[in-house]
Structures are given as C-alpha cells and as structure tokens.
Amino acid sequence: MGKVVVVTSGKGGVGKTTSAAALGAALAQRKEKTVVVDFDVGLRNLDLVMGAERRVVYDLVNVIQGEAKLAQALIRDKRLETLYLLPASQTRDKDNLTAEGVERVIGALKKTFDWVICDSPAGIERGATLAMRHADVAVVVTNPEVSSVRDSDRIIGLIDAKTAKAERGERMDRHLLLTRYNPNRAERGDMLSVEDVLEILSIPLLGIVPESMDVLRASNIGMPVTLADSQSAPAQAYLQAARRLAGEDVPISIPGEKRSLLGKLFGWRAA
C-alpha cells in the first residue's frame, strides 16, 4: 500500500503546486512509483508546472464520473518513468468532486503507487478538505509571512479535526515546508525567522526552500525544479525534504546558504 501525502496551505500563491511537483519528482527520482494528483478543479496548473499540458486527455472528474478509466487518465512523465500525473478538470465545476468518488480513486491509486501526492487547492472549501481527507501525511507549505502562517495554523486545525484519520481518532503526521525563504531578509530581521514560524505552528520541519529564480525558470520550461536543475538550491531542498518524507534522517539545512549560518540550525527538530 502506498502512502498518501497532501500538500496544502490554506493561503494561495505560497508554492503548493511547485512543491507538489518537486516533491513528487524527487520521490520518483528515488525510483519509487509516484503520482501527483491535482485537486484544483477549474483552475488546474499542475499539468503546466509538470510540462504535460498538451497531453491531457482525461482528468480526475472524468474518472470520478465514470467517463474514463483511471489508467486512461494517468499521464506518464516523459523524463521519469516512475512519475505520473492525474490532472484536474479545467472545464468542470468543482461540485463534481464527490467524497465517495475521491475515496475510490485514492484507494485505487494507493494499490499501484508507492506515493500519492495530492495537490490541494487554496482555501478551506470542498476541494481542499477532499484533498486532505484520505491522506496519511500532510505537508503544510508556508511562507515566512504573517498571513501565510495564520492560514497554515487554520489548515493544521482542520487536518486535526476534519480528516478520515481524525474521525478514526488517529493523528495525522503534519510537516512544515517553509518556502520562499530569503536568508538575507531573515538576517536583517525583515522576515519571520524559521524559529518564529516553528514556534508559532509547533509542527516538525520538513525542509526550507530558499526563494530562487530557479523555481520560476523550472515552471517556465514545465519541469519540476528537481528535474530542471537538480544541483540548484531549491532542488536540493526538495530532494532533502523527499528523503525525510521517506523516513531518512537528514539534518536540516538551507541549501545555498553560507556555512556560517549552519551553526544556527542546530537545535531544530527534523521531521
């Protein structure tokens, strides 16, 4: 049985889709069979970020409505044979996502994939709650900025209360992925520090992704950043995060950072 991971944040524009694609690719690069599922019905973007936008035939809603088989809707990545995409529908209404339909699709994906990465839409409405509903693990994407931190706190509360795991009385593992982190601004005190965010949200840290042109460039050319340039700082951050997600004990660092700053990082709890 594969593991289901929801990538969520509450707030829009913090890097959920970029992170879902990068983590999915990073796990697939470990030769583990991975599918990334876009839950943002009506505003799909994962296909663009993963460079599959010309190849979408069927989508998640087609599968839920029984108009296509799951195998027909899955798009295999051209560069990585262990990486798949299940796109969202661009034309359908999000009411077509039914709770039973989502449960069925996730259940089927778990049987054939090692990892099922659910890319949640922004907000706390239906799409977001369905994306997290059947997850085993949550990755909460947060920018070091007050509104993002507060929305993440709200989402963590929902993860603790409104998921299938919570209803069974279990606790879902939640990890913090800090994105758009700018070490210079943090140094000057113009940005919430890693410690601040960790103290407020009190969940373990999965990784710190520095703000970088490489992220923009990767999405321009339609490649997950870990594939576009695996040596770049954000790619290293996502590759590290994927290893932690897979249970490896990797010390937290900010890739691309000066060595001297590393001293500060001791004492953070890795995920």
Nearer to other proteins, 82 or 219 (CB): 219
Whether 159 and 171 have beta carbons less than 8 Å apart is answered as no
Nearer to other proteins, 39 or 58 (CB): 58
Q: Binding of other proteins at residue 230 (CB under 8 A)? A: no
Nearer to other proteins, 29 or 212 (CB): 212
Q: Binding of other proteins at residue 182 (CB under 8 A)? A: no
Binding mask 10-49 for other proteins (x = CB under 8 A): --------------------------------------x-
Q: Binding of other proteins at residue 216 (CB under 8 A)? A: yes
Burial class (CB in 10 A: 0-12, 13-18, 19+), 196: middle
CB of 116 to other proteins, least distance (A): 20
Nearer to other proteins, 68 or 250 (CB): 68
Binding mask 121-160 for other proteins (x = CB under 8 A): -----------------------------xx-xx-xxx-x
108: left (phi over 0), alpha (psi -120 to 50) or beta: alpha
| Single residue of 95, 221, 258, 269 touching other proteins by CB under 8 A | 221
Q: Binding of other proteins at residue 166 (CB under 8 A)? A: no
Rounded Cα gap, residues 56 and 89, in angstroms: 9
CB of 158 to other proteins, least distance (A): 8
Interacting residues with other proteins (CB under 8 A): 48, 51, 53-58, 68-69, 71-72, 90-91, 150-151, 153-154, 156-158, 160-161, 199-200, 202, 212-214, 216-217, 219-222, 233, 256
